[in-house]
Chains A and B, each alone.
Chain A
Amino acid sequence: MNQAIRHSWIAAVAMFALIFGALSYVQVVGADELKANAWNKRAILQNYCNDRGAILVAGAPIAESVPGSETCKFQRTYTQPELYAGITGYFSKNYGVTGLERAMDGQLAGSSDQQFLDRIGQLFLGNQPKGASVELTIDPKIQKLAYDLIPDGQRGSIVVTDPKTGNILAMVSKPSYNPNLIATQDATKEQAAYNEIIKIPGVNLNQSVSGPTGALLAPGSVFKLVDTTAALDSGKYNADSQLPNPAEMSFPGIQYKLPNYAGGNCYTRNTAGFAFALQQSCNTPFARIALDLGENAIAEQAAKFGWGQELGDQLKVDYQKSSFPKNLDDAGLAQSAIGQRDVRATPLQIALMTSAIANGGVQMAPNLIKAVRSPDLRVLDEPKPAALRTSTTPEIASQITEWMTSVVSEGIGAGAAVPGVQVAGKTGTAELGTDGLNNSWFTGFAPANDPRVSVTIVMQGVDISTGAQLTSPNAKKIFEAVLNK
């Protein structure tokens, strides 16, 4: 009997050994994974009431912690909430943290590795913890201008970058929302605001990302820049190639016909050079190129411009990867080549493609962060311009720049022309269905010979004439604002 008692004791001790193992796993081994879980509110509650570092644009805070209530010493406030909501995100007690507030949380909260010594100091001196400030590359004037260029009630995005450095100068989208409403300490108001804001189409608070880095849109004719690059890169085409330009293309076995744009001048020629095809944005020459080169060649060139790829670690905000479909039949490939069907790109992706062409074929990593500074203004981090990937050769980039310049000087992108400056551009009109509404695009850069700024504009769900008014002419205003200051 005593032997059996000892065995029972061993069984009980074995159970306890399992408990010790499980406790060690939860509290130490697996703890980091649990702490990083998106449902875990402890991290935010831990520093919710602390003095969090500011997010700065040209030295002025767009997000800052101001003295709060008795129970919660600091309150997060956004000084120009709608204008910057897409970048800052929000810092909410019950609805989590998004945007740069989340991506830069370590630095803003003061818990990053670089701030370790500061924390030790705070511990011994008894100072309140204070986070680092994050200065952005955004130019506040351009940001404001771009935001105002999208009419209220219109869905659209604008991305302005410096193609040589990858710095983002402006990144806006409408509709926007007021993050102050969700960052309030009043839980009832917070919940009410959240429930209102999630109803706004296109804001997508409950999704991870939206706007310039998150909206996946059909790129339309701006995708023809990918076809052109792939064509020149293949060696089968050169600057002087004449492309077949029928009014419409038919495909064996199906009713569907792929037409040229009826309103333009494409019908005037049965064959066209690249310059004419791009200027008038004819569809059939590019569909023919895609069928000639094959799906893989187009997909590979798209990937070289960033489709489906990582966008580097200086962007910080969340983004969606753009996509090019697979296993297409001829009609599908032809439609995809003109940016219809299932090709999808974010406004930022189109901006990166254009910037790569502007920068001699080298795509710079998109960058939002100018500097991270500790509370005593020491620089903790200062990202340097970094090449993300080589999208094409300098020769091809230069050739395409020449053609894009003619799109603005002689073609349908004339609205973007700035007197005295060579502007390179490409328009796009992606049909959304049969109701005549489109996603209207402009992407381009200036000056063409020494690019300092690239501008990408998309207006969603507009008819042809509204789209034409809201894209190229607005790009012109941004070019002028950046170049004339």
Chain B
Amino acid sequence: MTIAETMPKPRRNVELLLLMLALSVSIGANALISVDEKTALDTDFWFQSSLLAVAALVFHVVLRFRAKYADPVILPIVVALNGLGLAMIHRLDAPGEDTGNNQLRWTLIAMAVAIAVIWFLKDHRVLRRFTYISLAVSALLLILPLVPGISAGEILGARVWIKLGPMTFQPGEVAKITLAIFFAGYLSSNRDLIMLAGRKIGPLQFPRFKDMGPMITAWLVSIGVLIFQRDLGSSVLFFGLFIVMIYVATSRISWVVIGLALILGGGFVASKVFSHVALRIDGWLNAFTEEVFGRSPGGSGQIVEGLFGMASGGLVGTGLGQGRPNLVPFANSDMIIASFGEELGLIGLFAIVLMYLLLFTRGFRAALGTRDAFGKLLACGLSFAVALQCFVVIGGVTRLIPLTGLTTPFLAAGGSSLLANWIIVGLLLMISHTARGPVDTTPLQPAGAPEAKKPGRAPAAGRPGRNATQTLPDAPTEAVKQL
């Protein structure tokens, strides 16, 4: 691990500058659409634009106070993506529809929650205390959509929504965060044990069977989501998240091999046993056959219409508001990438995908920079989850892989997804704050910490002036880290 010896710089002014750029892109896109729809720049437009700008600036100011060393690129990227999504959703609203304003409301709520996370949590390491609580919460969140009375029933073939008053909410989106916290907490505590024991077969060292417990748990969760909620996308996401985290915790490629074998095996069996999985795969492989194209539900009409839209966009796109993305079912949610491809062209889409690339790269950078294993695992897992989610969605839309029901982070219409992804942003910002900031030599506030209850087991507590890697109570030894 290398830490620059120079004084850490907050770079908040850089963030402010980039934020202005992001806001001008978002608000500019919205203005184009507003002009195009002949409601040219009315009061609604100004009101919505100022709400977004104010929220972004408040976020920025909060970072100045609470996480002033946080990565300066993350917030502007997310604001730009969120703003572009708002503009596109607004553009896709048929007269009388109000998805755009609903998305703006959710954006503000999500940003407020992310701000609250940063403001009250102060330090991500606190979350480690909630390792097993997170597991329980994850289980609860995943079971909720199946509970009669709370469940919103089966919507579009999946049972992932719950009723919240007049709205519906997808608890699975939040579960990916709590699962990441659980995995990070569990693995950072037990990685030594998992790593040191095992049998070597060929070049791979395989874990002991009893250490595979968490792996089996994660697999069961994923398969459970697949079977009971019929949500192929989330199932892949949860399992991918876990594989990456256990790989990072142990540096053992064998986990990845086992994980991929399990997911391929599970996927194969699922495609044989469950019609919804088989339909997805059929709609992917045989998208251009008459029978599959016209089938409803489970046909390929959505994918094929999306492909037509993207093809008509070509290299430079039709221009915002000039295409016909409305021909694609779910143009503002599942297929929003196709809408962007049509109107902004390959160039615009490359810019958007590059923003995601930069976003998760900054997340990985925070994982490299932070000093505690928990923070590393959490940042890495969350960043990888964002990347994997983009891959699953965009790959599905472009027919690279079967289409699943995941949302495009920050762009797609949907409150739960926005909320969850903004919380991820909050967490990444906090982790990057510790990664980029001056070495924090004060121990974690011991109140309530498990270590504090047993003073003898907190070796590092209260001993300042040590090497950074050994400062934190839960930091593993450097020797292990180099494995």
To the question of whether A and B form a pair in one complex, the answer is yes
Listed in ascending order, the chain A residues whose CB lies under 8 Å from chain B are 1-9, 11-13, 15-16, 18-20, 22-28, 30-32, 34-35, 37, 39-42, 45-46
Contact (Cβ within 8 A) B353 A8:
no
Contact (Cβ within 8 A) A13 B357:
yes
Kindly state whether residue B330 has any CB partner on chain A within 8 Å: no
Contact (Cβ within 8 A) B373 A1:
yes
Once A5-B367, A6-B368 are accepted as A-B contacts, the answer to whether A12 and B383 lie under 8 Å apart by CB is yes
Contact (Cβ within 8 A) A19 B398:
yes
Tally of contacts, chain A with chain B, CB under 8 A: 137
Least CB distance, A126 to chain B, in whole angstroms: 16
Contact (Cβ within 8 A) B373 A12:
no
The CA of A2 and the CA of B248, in the complex, are separated in Å by: 8
Once A5-B364, A8-B247 are accepted as A-B contacts, the answer to whether A23 and B311 lie under 8 Å apart by CB is no
Contact (Cβ within 8 A) B399 A15:
no
Question: Chain B: how many interface residues by the 8 Å CB criterion?
Answer: 51
The CA of A2 and the CA of B469, in the complex, are separated in Å by: 13
Least CB distance, A245 to chain B, in whole angstroms: 52
Kindly state whether residue B336 has any CB partner on chain A within 8 Å: no
Kindly state whether residue B184 has any CB partner on chain A within 8 Å: no
The CA of A2 and the CA of B247, in the complex, are separated in Å by: 11
Q: Which residue of A16, A25, A39, A41 is within 8 Å of B356 (Cβ)?
A: A16
Kindly state whether residue B174 has any CB partner on chain A within 8 Å: no
Cβ–Cβ < 8 Å partners of B398 in chain A = 19, 22-23, 25-26
Kindly state whether residue B238 has any CB partner on chain A within 8 Å: no
Residue in chain B with minimal CB distance to A9: B364
Contact (Cβ within 8 A) B251 A19:
no
Residue in chain B with minimal CB distance to A7: B247
Least CB distance, A70 to chain B, in whole angstroms: 13
Least CB distance, B253 to chain A, in whole angstroms: 9
Contact (Cβ within 8 A) A8 B311:
no
The CA of A192 and the CA of B384, in the complex, are separated in Å by: 52
| Chain B contact residues, majority secondary structure | helix
Instruction: Offer 5 A-B interface pairs, CB within 8 angstroms, sorted by A.
Output: A8-B384, A16-B390, A25-B398, A31-B312, A41-B327
Listed in ascending order, the chain B residues whose CB lies under 8 Å from chain A are 1, 244, 247-251, 288, 293, 304, 307-315, 324, 327, 341, 345-346, 349-350, 353, 356-357, 360-361, 364, 367-368, 373, 376, 380, 383-384, 387-388, 390-391, 394-395, 398-400, 476, 481, 483
Most chain A beta-carbon neighbours within 10 Å: one of B251, B311, B380, B476: B311
The CA of A42 and the CA of B367, in the complex, are separated in Å by: 46
Contact (Cβ within 8 A) A22 B308:
no
Contact (Cβ within 8 A) A26 B244:
no
Least CB distance, A465 to chain B, in whole angstroms: 44
Once A2-B481, A20-B350, A24-B346 are accepted as A-B contacts, the answer to whether A34 and B367 lie under 8 Å apart by CB is no
Once A8-B247, A8-B248, A26-B398 are accepted as A-B contacts, the answer to whether A15 and B311 lie under 8 Å apart by CB is no
Contact (Cβ within 8 A) A19 B394:
yes
Cβ–Cβ < 8 Å partners of B311 in chain A = 26-27, 30-32, 34-35, 40
Least CB distance, B192 to chain A, in whole angstroms: 12
Least CB distance, B254 to chain A, in whole angstroms: 13
Known: A19-B400, A27-B315. 11 other contacts (CB 8 A): A4-B248, A9-B361, A12-B387, A19-B353, A23-B346, A27-B311, A31-B312, A41-B308, A42-B308, A42-B309, A42-B327
Contact (Cβ within 8 A) B324 A27:
no
Q: Which 8 A-B residue pairings sit nearest by Cβ, starting from the closest?
A: A34-B311, A22-B398, A12-B387, A31-B311, A15-B391, A27-B346, A22-B400, A9-B364
Cβ–Cβ < 8 Å partners of A8 in chain B = 244, 247-248, 364, 380, 384
Once A19-B395, A27-B345, A42-B324 are accepted as A-B contacts, the answer to whether A12 and B313 lie under 8 Å apart by CB is no
Contact (Cβ within 8 A) A26 B353:
no
Q: Which residue of B314, B353, B481 is within 8 Å of A28 (Cβ)?
A: B314
Residue in chain B with minimal CB distance to A19: B394
Residue in chain B with minimal CB distance to A17: B357
The CA of A5 and the CA of B476, in the complex, are separated in Å by: 16
Cβ–Cβ < 8 Å partners of B353 in chain A = 16, 19-20, 23
Residue in chain A with minimal CB distance to B315: A28
Contact (Cβ within 8 A) A26 B360:
no
The CA of A6 and the CA of B288, in the complex, are separated in Å by: 39
The CA of A13 and the CA of B367, in the complex, are separated in Å by: 16
Contact (Cβ within 8 A) A40 B345:
no
Least CB distance, A273 to chain B, in whole angstroms: 54
